[in-house]
């Protein structure tokens, strides 16, 4: 039985493939998920490049013991249809079976200049079609060394204010820990996750449901320690999600957390 525990109480483990994957490799990987043991305490998702979302969504339908959610890595700031060459709207993502959409990953702001205003439009587009936005926030090394991490995260979280939803999902990903092998310490994670919870409650009201995921070099061998930190509701996993063995080890750490 899927989702015996509501998704806002499960640990979320979402793989972010970034710009990786090919039809044949994806199929081989998805085939292995068919027999993944039931992890009813975990919401599992995979964020593939847009061009592979439909393939992923179709492959998920034959997974036996778990429901694996289809996640998109980005969405257009423009809604619906229009003369926006190269863009993919939230409506299109919904049409092809997407459940969750990453918004504002630090690589989007680093390479494509995305800031709060664009992220806000994307959040609204995603909510308007009934999908779940997962807002990514995180400070740079410079900002942390200058002692500005709380100020920076508070500013990034301000896009949540006044959104028409009572379900808020955020991934805290210190930029200096993404793809670098450097993991934030348990103390740094605990401090920031508690701060993010507090900010969300004050921005969105005390009746919101919240998931705050940690992201940044989460691997099979550090996942259990990270999941044990208070206010850590899961992980956004980059590199380690490309390997079935390491990704499923992280899922099982979440299941046993």
Binding site for ligand PEP (CB under 6 A): 16, 18, 173, 178-179, 215-218, 236-240
Q: Which two tokens stand for residue 100?
A: 């969750």
Least Å distance, CB 103 to ligand PEP, is 12
Location of structure tokens 């507090």 = 198
Q: In the chain, which ranges are continuous DSSP H helix? A: 23-33, 53-60, 90-95, 106-112, 116-128, 141-145, 149-157, 186-204, 223-227, 244-255
Is 176 annotated in some ligand binding site?
no
Considering 107, 139, 143, 173, which one is annotated as catalytic?
173
User: Between residues 159 and 218, which has the closer beta carbon with respect to ligand PEP?
Assistant: 218
User: Between residues 80 and 180, which has the closer beta carbon with respect to ligand PEP?
Assistant: 180
Least Å distance, CB 164 to ligand PEP, is 26
Distance of alpha carbon 191 from alpha carbon 62, whole angstroms? 40
Sign, Cα dihedral of 184, 147, 232, 68 = negative
Least Å distance, CB 207 to ligand PEP, is 29
* Residue 166 DSSP SS3: coil
Is 76 annotated in some ligand binding site?
no
Is 166 annotated in some ligand binding site?
no
173 is catalytic: yes
User: Between residues 45 and 239, which has the closer beta carbon with respect to ligand PEP?
Assistant: 239
Cβ atoms of 156 and 193 within 8 Å: the answer is no
Nearest to 47 by CA among 166, 129, 167, 169: 169
Of all residues in the shown chain, the one whose CB is closest to ligand PEP is 238
105 is catalytic: yes
User: Between residues 102 and 160, which has the closer beta carbon with respect to ligand PEP?
Assistant: 102
For residue 232, which phi and psi values (nearest 5 degrees)? -95, 115
Question: How many Å separate Cα 11 from the centre of its chain?
Answer: 12
Cβ atoms of 152 and 143 within 8 Å: the answer is yes
Least Å distance, CB 2 to ligand PEP, is 25
Least Å distance, CB 19 to ligand PEP, is 11
Nearest to 197 by CA among 184, 185, 213: 213
Is 45 annotated in some ligand binding site?
no
Is 15 annotated in some ligand binding site?
no
Is 238 annotated in some ligand binding site?
yes
User: Between residues 129 and 232, which has the closer beta carbon with respect to ligand PEP?
Assistant: 232
Catalytic residue ranges: 105, 173
Annotated binding site for substrate: 16-18, 179, 217, 238-239
Tell me the binding residues. 16-18, 179, 217, 238-239
């Amino acid at each position: 039985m899927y989702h015996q525990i509501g998704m806002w109480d499960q640990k979320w483990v979402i793989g972010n493939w970034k710009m990786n994957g090919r039809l044949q490799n994806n199929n081989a990987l998805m085939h292995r998920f068919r027999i993944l043991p039931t992890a009813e305490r975990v919401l599992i998702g995979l964020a593939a490049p847009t061009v592979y979302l439909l393939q992923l969504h179709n492959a998920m339908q034959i997974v036996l013991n778990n429901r694996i959610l289809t996640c998109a890595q980005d969405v257009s700031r423009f809604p619906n249809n229009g003369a926006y060459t190269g863009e993919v709207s939230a409506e299109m993502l919904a049409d092809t079976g997407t459940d969750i959409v990453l918004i504002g990953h630090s690589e989007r702001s680093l390479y494509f200049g995305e800031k709060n205003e664009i992220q806000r439009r994307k959040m609204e587009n995603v909510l308007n079609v009934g999908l779940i936005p997962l807002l990514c926030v995180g400070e740079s090394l410079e900002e942390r060394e200058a002692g500005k991490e709380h100020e920076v995260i508070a500013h990034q979280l301000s896009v949540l204010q006044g959104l028409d939803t009572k379900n808020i999902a955020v991934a805290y990903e210190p930029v200096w820990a993404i793809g670098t092998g450097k993991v934030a310490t348990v103390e740094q994670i605990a401090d920031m996750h508690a701060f993010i919870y507090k900010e969300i409650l004050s921005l969105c009201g005390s009746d919101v449901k919240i998931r705050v995921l940690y992201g940044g070099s989460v691997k099979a061998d550090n996942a259990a320690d990270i999941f044990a930190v208070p206010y850590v509701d899961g992980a956004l996993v980059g590199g380690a999600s490309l390997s079935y063995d390491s990704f499923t080890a992280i899922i099982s750490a979440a299941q046993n957390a």
